[in-house]
Structure formats: C-alpha cells, structure tokens
Amino acid sequence: MVYLKEPLSAFLSVLTMKYFSVIPYEAPDFYGQDFRRNPVGTGPFKFKLWEEGTKLVLLKNEKYFEYDGKNRLPYLDAVTISFVKDRETAFMELLNGKYDMLSGADAFNINEVLDKNGDLQPEYNSKFILQKQNYLKTDYLGILVDENIDIVKKSPLKIKALRKAINYGFDRVKMVKFFRKNIGYPATAGFIPNGMPSFNEKIVKGYNYNPDKVRQLLIEAGFPDGKDLPEITLHTTDNYLEQTEFIQSQLAENNIKVNISVDKPVVLRQAVAACEYNLFKKSWVGDYADEENFMHLFYSKNFAPVGSNYTHYKNPEFDVLYEKYCANKTVR
C-alpha cells in the first residue's frame, strides 16, 4: 500500500522508473549505503564486477524465470559494458571488433556514420545493423533569469527582449537536418517533445528563425544592430560542440556575439546546478512518459540546486496550472 501526501496524476508513470524496481528489503538493510555496489534483483543477469567509469560485468542468471517456449532465457552467458568517454575512440573500437554494439546516437559521430535521412551510410550498411526507437528528450539552451543572483544582475541576459532575440536568432530546422541527420524534431512548439499528448504545434507557438524579429528585439533591448552588446558566453560539452558552433555562427550573423566554453560533463552539471552559468546547453530526458516530467523544470519550488529548475524560472500562473495538472491531469 502506498499513501500520497497529495494527488499526483503521474504517479503510476513514476513507478515505471528503475528506481522503483521491487527488491528484497533485507538487501538494503544489510548493505546500507553500499547497496549500490551489491545490487539484488530478479533480472536475466547477475552483477559480477563494476569498475566505476570503466567496466561493468554481468553474468547469466541461471534461475531467471522467462523461457522462449523451451529454453530458459537469456541466451548469453555474460554481458560486458564498457564506459568510453571519447566517442571517436568508441567507434574505432566498434570497427575493430572490440565491441558488439554502441548505445545511443551520441556515442558516435552521426555526421560520419549516418546519411541525411538518419540511415547508415553505404559503407557501413554491410557492417552494422541500425536499430531505432522513440526517445523522449529535449535539447535546450538554458538561460538563468533569477535577478537575485549576482551574475544575472550583471548580465545583459536579464533583458527579456535579448533572450527572445537569441531564440529567434538560429534555425532549429536546419540544425536538426544538418547536425542531427534528422534524428529528432526541431523544437518550434515549446519544451514538451513530439510524441507526448500535449505536443501541439497548432496551439503552442514557439520560436522559428526570424532575423527581422531579432533586429526589432535588439532595438527594444537597447542594442540596435548589436551595438554595445557584450559578448555572451555559452557553456557546453564536447558532444554538443558542433551544434553550439552553428548557433554561434547564426547569432553572429544577427549581431549577437557568443563565446563558447567547452566544459567536462561533470563540471557543467555541477556549475549549472549551482547557478554559476548565465547561458548553457543542456538536455532533459523523460524518465517516465508524462508531460509533468518536462514541466517540473519550470516549477518555482524546484529551483536548483534542490530541484531541476536550473534557470530559476518563476511564474505564479504557471505554478498554479502545474499544480492543477499534477492533481488531476486535466489542464492542457
């Protein structure tokens, strides 16, 4: 039995996350904080070895409950998972036969491996099998807007018209086509990704590339044609460098100068959570298939570092609608 302090319409979806897998209470009671290195479950494989950040080894669970009709699953005796930080290295090891598969488009250079339709280039067709599936994820530029924070007070990004100018200043459609090989959809209709019931391009009007709008907004912000506008630093990681360089180039054409700072992923995560960056490139993956999982990034009670509202966005009207949605899932 589970008792909730308040209604949560997404509760059943939340329960589908791995964090809520059923485990014997004796295991965490026995291992305590070290349970993460001594997992106990009912899956097809058993934990054998974990060299954190390097390798994970799983052995066949001889008592796994599923069959293919005659034979007990799984077929494999073991699985080894290697954690390779450099995607070029990972792909070369795949080509050399060291690995059997790579997981996720970010694990290799899609511009080299995939064609414009997101399919394998001819030279790789006979070597690999490409498997695709839907993935709830939104890549975004985060802008810190909390004027109680010193770096916001000193930044031109505190001006709403400038933030809007940046949104109109680069072509999402072109970026997805040429830098993602049409893997995904341009985010021209808000933050919630395509595939969710609330995604509706007819109702939600987001941002499209519009240089005329940029010019008007720069005047409104007090920087006509970019005059006297300080250079803005955009923080990113190596995986998103090509995309951010494209954004940098297009914004420069629209008189908005951007400097790119490439950080290690752990550095970026910590700095964003601590509200140390005005502008950053980040992504959000839907842990469960409910719009609430994306909307809570804008709920004022979720301010970072306690929650995932990394921009410190605050809008009382949004908070009310969000709470109503969480309670009964009727607000669209």
User: 26: which strand partners?
Assistant: none
CA dist 36 and 286 (Å) reads 23
In 201-319, beta strands by DSSP E: 232-236, 258-262, 279-285
Residue 332: per-residue pLDDT: 47
User: 82: which strand partners?
Assistant: 55
Show the domains of the chain with their CATH numbers: 34-125 (3.40.190.10), 137-286 (3.10.105.10)
Encoding tokens for residue 121? 């280039």
Give the burial class of 34: count Cβ atoms within 10 A of its Cβ; 0-12 exposed, 13-18 middle, 19 or more buried. exposed
Choose among 258, 278, 257: nearest CA to 150.
278
Question: Could you tell me the strand order of the sheet in which 258-262 lies?
Answer: 137-143, 279-285, 232-236, 258-262
Per-residue model confidence as pLDDT tens digits over 132-157: 888 899 999 999 999 999 999 999 99
Task: Please confirm whether the linkage preceding 316 is cis (ω < 30° from 0).
Answer: no
Residue 239: per-residue pLDDT: 84
In percent, how much of the chain has pLDDT > 90?
67
User: 79: which strand partners?
Assistant: 58
Per-residue model confidence as pLDDT tens digits over 157-206: 999 999 999 999 999 999 999 888 888 899 999 999 998 888 888 999 89
Whether residue 288 is predicted with pLDDT greater than 80 in this model: the reply is yes
Q: Are the CB atoms for 247 and 257 separated by under 8 Å?
A: no
In percent, how much of the chain has pLDDT > 70?
99
Encoding tokens for residue 166? 């940046």
Give whole-number Cα distances, 194 to 10, 47, 135, 207, 245, in Å: 18, 36, 10, 15, 25
- For 136, phi then psi, to 5°, come to -85, 105
SS3 of residue 184 by DSSP: coil
The residue type of 209 is: Y
